[in-house]
């Protein structure tokens, strides 16, 4: 019974880490998009 609880706890930890990684990837993608838009608007203003 204790082994099952340990396995379940390990599974939860793994799931939580995967969820955190997924959230970070989505956040990073959104930020990169924003940075790209800012860079484009700045370059349009400077008019290279």
- Position 11 scores a pLDDT of 96
pLDDT in tens, 6-20: 999 999 999 999 999
- Copy the structure tokens of residue 15: 């799931």
- Copy the structure tokens of residue 19: 């969820």
Domain ranges for the chain = 1-40
Q: How far is CA 21 from CA 5, 14, 41, 44, in A?
A: 24, 11, 30, 35
Q: Over the Cα atoms of the chain, what is R_g? A: 21
CA pair distance 28, 34, nearest whole angstrom: 10
- Position 46 scores a pLDDT of 86
pTM more than 0.75: no
CA pair distance 39, 19, nearest whole angstrom: 30
- Position 48 scores a pLDDT of 59
């Amino acid at each position: 019974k204790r082994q099952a609880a340990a396995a379940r706890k390990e599974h939860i930890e793994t799931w939580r880490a995967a969820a955190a990684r997924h959230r970070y990837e989505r956040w990073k993608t959104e930020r990169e998009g924003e940075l790209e838009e800012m860079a484009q608007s700045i370059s349009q203003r400077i008019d290279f």
